[in-house]
């Protein structure tokens, strides 16, 4: 219960220990907002044919964002097929995917009919409600168990932000004065261990590492043993990025989990799949196959400070019922936030 009290911060309303952090977050987001590319799009795009010219216009339009577009779209219009077509366009362009988009729109169409809605601005509320409901259905915050060590394993394809997320998480836990151990389970990628070591030093966490090229399960085993022996409150285990389609690497990942679990004597508290917000429909395949290899408990959506909307999490929630737990909004250690379905949905609209 100590832990829970210490770390249940970061809900937008509880500033608490995160005072300085929140200020940083605020200023960071501000700069991000200011840097939006202007919509006038006067820069020269090399064009081949009329197709490119038309695309250019289209792109200028997308830049104004999901956000304003839904607002513009849904005020003072007839509720007709073309309105739904445009809604479909906006959702697909946010990477929501065809299946989930069509389902969402189907449900809204039905409501419009049964509730005899004629005011187009109400459609906006319907859509907001549908999306929030979808994201809330399986929503659970990051597990902060009473027992120690709380063990978190981080998995995902190459380059999505696993190691950085671990650094940020460790920073968060250290803010609460917890003892944190990091396990350098990426023994494959060049300098991956050094990268995690920099983070460990930066935030003041312990690092358990073996040589490059050694067995990641052995690292997991030693990390759990060390976390127990040192009475750490948290252990976070990094893993090498791997494509979900590589069967042998997925088997290896399963083994890392089982070894950690056996040494711990229970299931790990969190197995987080890191998904880059820029990812398209392939994230579904990633989640499916990682879920077959290890018991995923949730998703971390990174790089939301870019222009991608991360709409893929709607598809993940819809088709795989995987909750998003954390979001990454930058490269600094404080650029990690708890996922909140309502504010994420608002961010899509405001």
Residues that bind ligand GTP (CB under 6 A): 156, 158-164, 186, 189, 192, 241, 302-303, 305-306, 328-331, 335
Indicate which of ligand GTP, Mg ion, another protein, none lies near residue 307 (CB less than 5 to 8 Å, by partner kind): another protein
- CB-nearer residue toward ligand GTP: 1 or 190: 190
What's the min distance (Å) between Cβ of 166 and ligand GTP?
8
Would you mind telling me the total number of residues written for the chain in this entry? 350
Instruction: Map 124-159 to HEC letters.
Output: HHHHHHHHHHHHHCCCCCCCCCCCCCEEEEEECCCC
Q: Does 280 bind another protein (CB under 8 A)?
A: yes
- CB-nearer residue toward Mg ion: 160 or 348: 160
**Per-residue burial over 205-226, b = 16 or more CB atoms within 10 Å of its CB, e = otherwise:** bbbbbbeeeeebbebbbbbbeb
Q: Which stretch binds another protein (CB under 8 A): 13-21, 67-75, 111-119, 301-309?
A: 301-309
What's the min distance (Å) between Cβ of 21 and ligand GTP?
15
Q: Which stretch binds another protein (CB under 8 A): 89-97, 114-122, 143-151, 214-222?
A: 89-97
3-state class of 242 per DSSP? coil
- CB-nearer residue toward ligand GTP: 22 or 318: 22
Q: In what order do the strands lie in the sheet with 234-239?
A: 206-208, 180-185, 234-239, 150-155, 270-276, 298-302, 324-328, 336-338
Cis check: omega of the bond before 180, within 30 degrees of 0: no
| Residue 6 neighbours by CB under 8 Å, 6+ apart | 17, 176, 177, 178
Residue 64 Cα distances to 45, 59, 86, 155, 349, angstroms: 18, 9, 15, 34, 12
Q: Which stretch binds another protein (CB under 8 A): 18-26, 71-79, 170-178, 194-202?
A: 194-202
What's the min distance (Å) between Cβ of 115 and ligand GTP?
39
Indicate which of ligand GTP, Mg ion, another protein, none lies near residue 69 (CB less than 5 to 8 Å, by partner kind): none
Distance CA 34, CA 28 (A): 10
Give the residues lining the site for another protein (CB under 8 A).
32, 35-37, 43-48, 51-52, 54-56, 58-59, 62-63, 89, 92-95, 97-98, 157-161, 167, 188-192, 194-195, 197-199, 202, 243-246, 276, 278-286, 288, 303, 305-309, 312, 331
């Amino acid at each position: 219960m100590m832990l829970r009290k210490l770390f249940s911060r970061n809900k937008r309303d509880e500033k608490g220990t995160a005072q300085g952090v929140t200020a940083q977050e605020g200023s960071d987001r501000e700069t991000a907002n200011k840097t939006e590319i202007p919509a006038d799009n006067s820069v020269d795009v090399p064009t081949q044919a009329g197709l490119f010219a038309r695309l250019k216009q289209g792109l200028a339009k997308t830049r104004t964002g999901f956000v304003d577009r839904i607002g513009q779209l849904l005020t003072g219009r007839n509720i007709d097929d073309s309105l739904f077509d445009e809604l479909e366009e906006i959702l697909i362009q946010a990477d929501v995917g065809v299946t989930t988009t069509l389902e969402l729109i189907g449900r809204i169409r039905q409501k419009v009919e049964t509730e005899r809605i004629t005011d187009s601005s109400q459609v906006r509320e319907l859509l907001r409600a549908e999306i929030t409901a979808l994201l809330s259905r399986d929503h659970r915050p990051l597990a902060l168990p009473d027992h120690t060590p709380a063990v978190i394993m981080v998995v995902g394809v190459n380059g999505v932000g696993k190691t950085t997320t671990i650094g940020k998480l460790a920073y968060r836990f250290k803010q609460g004065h917890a003892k944190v151990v990091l396990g350098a389970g990426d023994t494959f990628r060049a300098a991956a261990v050094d990268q995690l070591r920099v983070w460990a030093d930066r935030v003041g966490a312990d690092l358990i590492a073996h040589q490059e090229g050694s067995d990641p399960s052995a690292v997991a085993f030693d990390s759990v043993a060390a976390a127990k022996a040192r009475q750490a409150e948290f252990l976070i285990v990094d893993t090498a990025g791997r494509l979900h389609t590589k069967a042998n690497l997925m088997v290896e990942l399963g083994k890392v989990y089982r070894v950690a679990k056996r040494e711990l004597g229970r299931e790990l508290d969190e197995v987080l799949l890191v998904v880059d917000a820029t990812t398209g429909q392939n994230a579904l395949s990633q989640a499916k196959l990682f879920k077959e290899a290890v018991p995923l408990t949730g998703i971390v959506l990174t790089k939301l400070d870019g222009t991608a909307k991360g709409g893929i999490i709607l598809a993940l929630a819809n088709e795989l019922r995987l909750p998003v737990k954390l979001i990454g909004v930058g490269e600094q250690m404080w650029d990690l936030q708890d996922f909140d379905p309502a504010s994420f949905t608002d961010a899509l609209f405001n």
